[in-house]
Homo-oligomer: A and B are copies of this chain.
Amino acid sequence: MIIVGELINATRKAVKAAIEARDRETIQSLAKDQAEAKADYIDVNAGVFVENEAGCLKWVIDEVLEAVPEVPFCIDSSSPKAIETAVGYLREKTSLVPMVNSISLETGRFDALIPLLAGTDLKVVALCMSSEGMPETTDQRVSVADKLINKLVNNNIPLENIHVDPLVQSLGTNSDYGMAFLTAVERIMTEFPGVHTMCGLSNISFGMPARPFLNQNFMVMAIARGLDGAIVNPLDRKMMANIITAEALAGKDSYCMNFLKAYRAGAIPG
């Protein structure tokens, strides 16, 4: 499972305040804690600083790099310009290959980001969204994924560097949205062998009670359908226990070694 640690996101009040105050300690300890909790990537998002997003990202990058030089970044922004600046900056500072979060089939966004990505070794989150809006059904998700994957591959981005996000929507809006996502994950993983899937799945429980329990169960279901990456809080011990256990049950943990190690470390309930 590819874990993208989501905590350094300026939509979170404490992170916004830390970036505003150039509070190195807060940012660095978020980075260290996530690295210790086995995050494979550290997501950084400074999108709330509309006037100076790229500048804020650079500062965050410096701090995180100093704290955890061995964990690659996931550069998370709705601004192609900010992504370009941050990736360029990172490339000068580390040889670790970052992930770009995210490209989509929306015309403006695709065209703005493809020059940065084409022919490179960058990892990219490919969000199943098009200029026609958000997909509703499994078929719509797979259709957008199909077009997006093909366009990326035609731009010399290897399949194994593409992490398709089939887009989780709230179960409270439509009882079929969970299954539409899950079936899309399975079809994408089956129809494009080698590609990855990725998502931030907490939207599933938007507007519902018992959100953590819904999110944990949905993660387990997604792993059962083939999901191999997620943008989560790696410090959420319950969620991580579910991920480790689901991976073992899904046959992705030889001899259940990782599960047994986690159990011995007290990380698995019961």
**Chain A interface (Cβ < 8 Å from any Cβ of B):** 171-172, 175-179, 182, 204, 208-214, 217-218, 220-225, 241-242, 245-246, 248-251, 253-256, 260, 263, 268-270
Contacts and interface: CB of A to CB of B under 8 A. Distances in A.
Contacts of A175: 248, 251, 253-256
A236 to B, nearest CB: 12
Contacts of A246: 217, 221
B210 A251 contact: no
B268 A182 contact: no
B221 A249 contact: yes
Contacts of A179: 249-251
Contacts of A182: 224, 250
A96 B99 CA distance: 59
Given A171-B256, A182-B224, A214-B245, 20 more contacts: A175-B251, A175-B253, A177-B251, A179-B249, A182-B250, A204-B249, A208-B256, A209-B263, A210-B245, A213-B241, A213-B268, A214-B249, A217-B245, A217-B246, A217-B249, A220-B220, A220-B224, A221-B246, A222-B224, A224-B225
Nearest to A186: B186
A220 B225 CA distance: 11
Contacts of A220: 217, 220-221, 224
A246 B223 CA distance: 13
22 contacts: A171-B248, A175-B255, A175-B256, A176-B251, A182-B250, A208-B256, A209-B263, A210-B268, A213-B268, A213-B270, A214-B249, A217-B220, A217-B245, A217-B249, A220-B221, A221-B223, A221-B224, A221-B246, A221-B249, A222-B224, A224-B224, A225-B225
A59 to B, nearest CB: 36
